[in-house]
Chains A and B, each alone.
Chain A
Amino acid sequence: MNADRDSSPPGSPGQTGERAQASEATHGQRRALVGALLAWPMRSRAARAAALGGLMSSAASGFASSGSTTTGSSTTQRASTASAQPTRADSPAASYDEAILRFTGGTRPGSGKVKLDVAVLIDNGNTVPVSVSVDHPMNDDDHVQAIAIFSERNPQHEVLRVDLTPANGRASVASRIRLATSQKLMAVARLSDGSYWSREMEVIVTLAACIEGEP
């Protein structure tokens, strides 16, 4: 109930603008999208196979590195170097995996604790309500420090990142994002003990956010 309230905007100053953007999509684009949608199950199988391969190889490297970095001091060191990156917006990561690993400082986030709320079937990729909450207390000595959202197939894989403090009281944020096509989304949370947790979801987008001219 609360999540519903969270994801509805307080008002809509630019709703007409968003609608205008949506109608700018040409017929050609729509046809291509319908085609893409029809080809979805096949493509998704291929994508899953590819992703699985990628995940297995990266998981293997994750295990290799985690063996040497399980001590508390090295985790905090990693966390501090991650937050010291000055120009996150100006150096986009080359891949979905790289974007995630850059946020986590090289460790693969565990699965769980994080709840990612987004519609599975999205009509309009220009403005997609999304909310992330983390099932974790917000005490001074034990809290959620940051939450980030990543997109598998947008031109830029970083979507949104928030830094939280115990004063927030609850680790929960909501926003509206753009999605270029059907893809996976991942929300990752960093806790004050240096651990990372995540939730991944696959969404289908029927009308893509406008990225004409992109490969």
Chain B
Amino acid sequence: MRIRTLIDVPPKARPGELITIRATISHPMETGYRRDSGGTLLARDIIRTFSCRFGDKTFFRSDLFPAVSANPYLSFHYRAQVSGELTFIWSGDRGFEHRERVALIVE
């Protein structure tokens, strides 16, 4: 299954500007508490962690639990100082790992 992500970073920021970053990834976030029609418990399959880096510095990280909705969405802030690259990393059950890179332009 193709993993789709939606990342919202302002196209340009002024030095020192507080920007809002919003990130969504397609994922079922199967809780591990549901049963199928035959009564068998569906194994948990969730994204457990999400982190965001600027360059090689992680400035935001998060632990997700089964109560986070399918296609997990997170919105947070970042104080833009210089141009660089933002890296978004999701990881979870069944060896799930996905990375996206987005350029941040500060001028």
Chain A positions within 8 Å of B, measured between CB atoms, are 2, 5-7, 9-14, 17-18, 21, 88-89, 92, 126-128, 131, 138, 151, 154-156, 158-170, 172-179, 209-214
Contacts of A154 in B (CB 8 A): 67
Contacts of B6 in A (CB 8 A): 9-11, 13
> CB-CB contacts of B48-76 with A at 8 A, as 1s and 0s?
10000010011111111111111111111
Q: List 9 A-B contacts (CB under 8 A).
A: A11-B6, A12-B71, A13-B24, A158-B65, A160-B65, A162-B76, A167-B57, A178-B66, A212-B34
Contacts of B97 in A (CB 8 A): none
Given A10-B24, A13-B4, A163-B62, A178-B35 contact (CB < 8 Å):
no
Contacts of A160 in B (CB 8 A): 62-65, 67-68
The answer to whether A162 touches B57, judged by C-beta atoms less than 8 angstroms apart, is: no
Asked if B43 CB lies within 8 Å of chain A CBs, one says no
Of B8, B33, B60, which one neighbours A164 at CB under 8 angstroms? B60
Asked if B31 CB lies within 8 Å of chain A CBs, one says yes
The answer to whether B77 touches A169, judged by C-beta atoms less than 8 angstroms apart, is: yes
**Residue in A closest to B59 when the chains form the complex, CB atoms:** A167
The answer to whether B74 touches A178, judged by C-beta atoms less than 8 angstroms apart, is: no
> CB-CB contacts of B71-86 with A at 8 A, as 1s and 0s?
1111111110000000
Chain B positions within 8 Å of A, measured between CB atoms, are 4, 6-8, 18, 20, 22-24, 26, 28, 31, 33-35, 39, 41, 46, 48, 54, 57-79
Q: Is the interface of B mostly helix, strand, loop or mixed?
A: strand
**Residue in B closest to A175 when the chains form the complex, CB atoms:** B74
Given A11-B6, A155-B31, A169-B78, A178-B69 contact (CB < 8 Å):
yes
Of A161, A177, A213, which one neighbours B69 at CB under 8 angstroms? A177
Contacts of A163 in B (CB 8 A): 60-62
Question: Complex: how many Å from CA A127 to CA B84?
Answer: 33
**Residue in B closest to A90 when the chains form the complex, CB atoms:** B48
Question: Complex: how many Å from CA A6 to CA B77?
Answer: 10
The answer to whether A214 touches B63, judged by C-beta atoms less than 8 angstroms apart, is: no
**Residue in B closest to A149 when the chains form the complex, CB atoms:** B67
11 new A-B pairs (CB below 8 Å) besides A161-B65, A164-B60, A165-B58?
Answer: A17-B70, A151-B67, A155-B33, A155-B66, A159-B67, A160-B67, A168-B76, A173-B62, A173-B74, A175-B72, A212-B34
The answer to whether A178 touches B22, judged by C-beta atoms less than 8 angstroms apart, is: no
Of A6, A169, A178, A209, which one neighbours B75 at CB under 8 angstroms? A6
Of A2, A158, A172, A210, which one neighbours B67 at CB under 8 angstroms? A158
